[in-house]
Structure 1
Amino acid sequence: MTHNLGIIGTGRMGTAFAKRLVETGHKVTVWNRSPDRTAAAVAAGANAVRDIEALAGCDMILTSLTDYSAVSAAVERLVATGIKGRLLVEMSTLLPAEQVALASKVTTAGGAFVDCPVGGTVGPALKGQLLGMAGGDAAAFAQAKPVLDVLCRRVEHLGPAGSGARMKLAVNLPLAAYWQTLGEALTLLAGAGISAEMAISLMADSSAGPTVLKNRAQVVIDTLNGTDQPGTFDIAGLAKDLRLAMALAAAENATLPMAEAIAPVYANALAEGLGGFDGASLSRHVVERR
């Protein structure tokens, strides 16, 4: 079944969503605050509009933006135009309470809402291999699922609005911690004459090798050998999600001792200009600061 879809935000992920959805036969219309950033989506077959209000005619609208401020502003404009009877699928990484607030705005205006942040980056998005973590009422999720199935190898309905956001932060927290622990592990090898290639090969082949290391072993090796690699999920993104996880814990009077310990390391890496690089650059940063 062909859907008439709108996408708000044509950064790396929003553009990947557009390409995948066009490729699989859907009609896609995109909007971005900076119109020149819609070029890649248009080249793939999407239609670009200059005014966000033009998306109100779409059956389903997906949002993929940097932060709550950007998403909230976009939703306010959609609601003002009229979103009754339409579905908004919010796919940014936000706090659960922020997703709940967005859901309230949309449903009060007569629309339906699902928050569904995803695990995975551009490559998996283009192949429909993301991991979807959805929150919202059952009817809204059922409406969104056929489209989410095109983007995701697995998508799960986890509960009411905000549940997807909560799961996404839980999924990304161990990843943020991993790059710190990998750096500490490599510190134990300093001066031993063991090459980065050998160390990463053995780690990837052991219980110390998570999926990110198995899939991106060469990126990690090249980084450890001194050449920082552009990140598909970069240090700035990891630091943002780490901050959100800590904010959620603080709001619920929980403690995250490991997160609190590594937050200054991420802050230092950002200060040194490593924000746009792969998480492996944080590991090398740890080794170099030993």
Structure 2
Amino acid sequence: MKIGVCGTGRMGSSIAQRLMAVGHEVNVWNRDAAKTKPLTGAGAKLFASPAELLDGCDAVVVMLLNDAATEAVYRGPNGILKGKLAGKLLIDMSTVRPDTMSSIGTAAAVQGAAFVECPVGGSTAPAKEGKLFGLAGGAKADVARAMPILEQLCRRIEHVGELGSGATMKLAINLPLLVYWQALGEALTICGPLNLPADRLIDILSDTAGTPTAMKGRGADIARVLGGQPLGETAFAVSAAKKDLATAIAFGQSIHTELPVTASALACFEAAEAAGLGDADATAVPVHWTRRNKNRGTI
């Protein structure tokens, strides 16, 4: 199948690699064409605009950074909604506000496209292996049509409702993990007077009921950085995590719900970004918090 990937940042590129690995003919578009070079070097075809990408493919997978990028790529000149949508399949895997997903999906459907939202849990490594967790929203028939592609990208797919439902669920699953990274930094801070090695602290904290599954894969990385090693490869950037927290707060306000813990975590992620860690992995947040307090002489 000819599948387009619209947006080739870290996750979009990883998804494109997976689609190529399972035998699809992959075409790509990105605002910064330089970011498509690893994919075009591996055989993907570069298109000049989102509308042209849509016209040249049977289906398009969209993975964009935020609501502003989504609005621009869909509604802008030569955007997706300017393409020949009739009969096409659109699968949007971006993490954006539910109302944004519902609005663009409805606009695409009016023009004859099958539109499915499917934001995903997981980072770049699971994306390359087809082991993401898909949270689909949309009409049953459209989701069924998208399933053959989604099953090649995801280890599990949950159809949670109509358009906007997937985005809501994605914001919900991100919150506990992102709040945890800040909570871990605070836990490490109060352990400072113990003067225990970082790897031992992480090992103890990892073997407790409050630790998320993500610590199984990232705990050792955090311990190494705390021990003085450089930051490793970014799977989910601090700036992207900050955006998700801010999006969740904005959505909460729209449904008259307060998210005070999320708001506090957002301020800490903003501080980490301001300290130059925007492109670092989100696991840099607990390290930053621990070092910041150590430098202030609190531990």
Q: What range is the shorter-chain TM-score in?
A: over 0.9
Contact 1:224 1:280 in 2 (8 A): no
Aligned to 1:44: 42
Q: Give secondary structure in 1 for the equivalent of 2:266.
A: helix
Q: CA deviation at 1:228?
A: 3.3
Q: Does residue 63 of structure 2 align to residue 64 of structure 1?
A: yes
Question: Hey, what's the Cα distance between the residues in 1 that align with 2:182 and 2:35?
Answer: 33
Aligned residues: 288
Question: Hey, what's the Cα distance between the residues in 2 that align with 1:69 and 1:187?
Answer: 36
Question: Hey, what's the Cα distance between the residues in 1 that align with 2:7 and 2:208?
Answer: 39
Identity value in percent:
38
1:20 to 18, 25, 28: 18
Aligned to 2:247: 244
Structure 2 unmatched ranges of 5 or more: none
Q: Give secondary structure in 1 for the equivalent of 2:161.
A: coil
Alignment of 1:105-120 (within 5 A): 105-120=107-122
Q: CA deviation at 1:230?
A: 4.1
Q: Give secondary structure in 1 for the equivalent of 2:276.
A: coil
Alignment of 1:40-189 (within 5 A): 40-55=38-53, 56-76=55-75, 77-189=79-191
Q: CA deviation at 1:81?
A: 2.5
Residues 85-105 of structure 1: CA deviation (Å, up to 9, x unaligned): 111111111000000111111
Structure 1 unmatched ranges of 5 or more: none
Residue identity matched to 2:91: V
Mean Cα deviation higher: 50-59 or 159-168: 50-59
Residues 122-170 of structure 1: CA deviation (Å, up to 9, x unaligned): 1101110111011000011001111011011011111001111001100
Residue identity matched to 1:15: S
Q: Give secondary structure in 2 for the equivalent of 1:250.
A: helix
Q: Does residue 210 of structure 2 align to residue 204 of structure 1?
A: no
Contact 2:28 2:46 in 1 (8 A): yes
- The runs of at least 4 aligned residues of structure 1 exceeding 3 Å deviation read 226-230
Question: Hey, what's the Cα distance between the residues in 2 that align with 1:52 and 1:188?
Answer: 50
